[in-house]
Structure 1
């Protein structure tokens, strides 16, 4: 009995000592991050399409209350995320942008895909009806697909007028408006997709990129001045109407987010604006790059299931986490498929550099 009592006393003393240590020495990561839960402010550049997500009070409260994080994000094009000294993270909008970053940075920064968004086209009901009559677009299971994407590109290359599609009210030639591919991820993603289509629907390689440089450059040169942010382009699309932007390139989440943020315009938007899913399309991943230990804290926090749910239901971002399902029925926008199929890969970063170089000197 005395022996057992002695052991019990020893265990109690050790427990008290260990507890006292952790009360006086807050647990911190071995890499030097602030202790988990200790309030810190993290800063970094973010693709414009994710700014509203980070500013969402529900997301901000979870990050602050559950993880001790306050995020100060600066809107920046994915290809303009430079000068990162002193920043905790960078959050571009594609794997290609990530690979380009990694070529410049050799510090071994941790990164992980947090969300996914397919690249889509936005258009108007009258334009979509005309594209359907021209057998370029089909409605399948409630969603609209550009089933003859190459045919639409051919019309643009040949300078076909809108009136040839029965849209005499629209001025000039058929076009697809996009952001500047040398600064914005959505423009860059479309540039890669376009080059693939011009390469007979095959992914462009270093060996054959020269064959598509000319037509790719010509396509973008015809667009004139291009916006530097997908968020700015979408805002113009909605506010300026069909006459200014008949078709634009964007992310699937943008209309979902806009409708939820502007419920007073929802009925009109649902009547007039259509999401078109190109066949094929490309995925725009949203990889977060953690540049500091506290940036790693944010990366981990954004995988929180509640934040992932809010990102889909209130901002339209499909989860990048395995096992999390995104149900379109919970959204306020119709015409969004459960799964994104008919997707092709983007060209390698070395190929994209050549394409962007050609477009940038247009």
Structure 2
């Protein structure tokens, strides 16, 4: 039976209402924002160790699927949480590399809407096989049954404070006094966290304000021994790889940095492993500290960024391509064969950081 014009018109009207209703029902669904062509640009600051992750084309596409485009600029974690020159730019989000930065940001007037740990990476020490061989003979490095290297960082710090030469520690390939280099603790989180770990190790427990009074000068001596300190964890890691054994014998970094470098070119890592030159080695201080990476939401629009970064897909890419553990410090995917056995599944010797007031008081004692 043929439809009357009135019935046909009502049908079109109903279809239009249904379509419009469907649009409004789905337009606020975060995962469909990109499909509908709605894009929100978010400007914020990130730690340099996360730059490659956010520039990964698949990560960019996944974030775009939530209707977001990021203008993520690299800054030191300490800087982004307290420097007026950065905060005055009104970032929508901050993504530093330590949970303490949330408190420091609040103390500096940042109106934190929300914060959540998205990624984790323990602080490690990067060195070279000849150094590790010498420190193993000297009893400062041990190898676990699974093949990972553990460093007695307190013993190394004692040697550094005693102006001990490398040769005394069994490292005949190097000249001069033993040293370990981190980033600038007033600018970069890896140096910041290393400073807290050094203070706590010297104090024998999680450091307090009283411990800072007692051991602060020794911490400053360790850092004076370093010489130039890079403002960025990424730059320091690049210096380590470029400088080799003679340039950077031991540096402080994040576990994910070597993993990310290996996964970027597994064939290159195979060549390095089979070469006759000095090979990179990751050492796990015992105890160490965990570098939690909290996303600090300032603008409500950045709530969506927090949502996408915690999806299983993004968490898996963060681990399988860039070496970041999940919020609980565990693997969030199947490891590539290139890094099989390189990392412990769990870090069982972790020391809490001193509280923010102790850390800020210590930073004030370092030259800027």
- Please report the TM-score for the alignment, with normalisation by the length of structure 1: 0.88
Task: Indicate the SS of the match to 1:318.
Answer: coil
Task: Quote the Cα distance in structure 2 between the aligned partners of 1:157 and 1:72.
Answer: 43
User: Is the CA contact (8 Å cut-off) linking 1:144 and 1:276 kept in structure 2?
Assistant: yes
Structure 1 pair 335/26, CA: closer, same or farther in 2 (3 Å)? closer
Task: Quote the Cα distance in structure 2 between the aligned partners of 1:250 and 1:97.
Answer: 18
Task: Quote the Cα distance in structure 1 between the aligned partners of 2:63 and 2:307.
Answer: 10
Q: Please state if 1:188 is matched with 2:192.
A: yes
1:90 to 75, 91, 94: 94
Taking the TM superposition and a 5 Å limit, the aligned residue runs for 1:241-260 are 241-260=244-263
Correspondence for 1:40: 40
User: Is the CA contact (8 Å cut-off) linking 1:221 and 1:359 kept in structure 2?
Assistant: no
Taking the TM superposition and a 5 Å limit, the aligned residue runs for 1:237-316 are 237-270=240-273, 272-316=279-323
Deviations 1:144-186 (A, max 9, x none): 111x321111111101111112323312111111101110000
2:149 to 132, 144, 152: 144
Task: Quote the Cα distance in structure 2 between the aligned partners of 1:139 and 1:25.
Answer: 57
Shift of 1:36: 4.3
Taking the TM superposition and a 5 Å limit, the aligned residue runs for 1:1-362 are 20-21=20-21, 23=23, 27-28=27-28, 36-37=33-34, 38-64=38-64, 66-81=65-80, 82=83, 83-84=86-87, 85-105=89-109, 107-140=111-144, 141-146=146-151, 148-200=152-204, 202-270=205-273, 272-320=279-327, 325-326=331-332, 329-330=335-336, 332-333=338-339, 334-360=341-367
User: Is the CA contact (8 Å cut-off) linking 1:121 and 1:249 kept in structure 2?
Assistant: yes
Task: Indicate the SS of the match to 1:339.
Answer: coil
Shift of 1:87: 1.8
Task: Quote the Cα distance in structure 1 between the aligned partners of 2:257 and 2:315.
Answer: 16
Shift of 1:248: 0.6
Task: Indicate the SS of the match to 1:298.
Answer: helix
User: Is the CA contact (8 Å cut-off) linking 1:328 and 1:336 kept in structure 2?
Assistant: no
Task: Indicate the SS of the match to 2:353.
Answer: coil
Task: Indicate the SS of the match to 1:119.
Answer: strand
User: Is the CA contact (8 Å cut-off) linking 2:316 and 2:333 kept in structure 1?
Assistant: no
Task: Indicate the SS of the match to 1:233.
Answer: helix
- Please report the TM-score for the alignment, with normalisation by the length of structure 2: 0.86
Task: Indicate the SS of the match to 2:322.
Answer: coil
Task: Indicate the SS of the match to 2:43.
Answer: strand
Task: Quote the Cα distance in structure 2 between the aligned partners of 1:293 and 1:195.
Answer: 38
User: Is the CA contact (8 Å cut-off) linking 2:331 and 2:345 kept in structure 1?
Assistant: no
Question: Which ranges in structure 2 are unaligned for 5 or more consecutive residues?
Answer: 1-12
Task: Quote the Cα distance in structure 2 between the aligned partners of 1:329 and 1:111.
Answer: 28
Task: Indicate the SS of the match to 1:164.
Answer: helix
Shift of 1:328: 6.8
Shift of 1:72: 1.6
- Runs of 4+ in structure 1 displaced over 4 angstroms? 13-19, 24-29
Question: Which ranges in structure 1 are unaligned for 5 or more consecutive residues?
Answer: 1-12
User: Is the CA contact (8 Å cut-off) linking 2:135 and 2:171 kept in structure 1?
Assistant: no
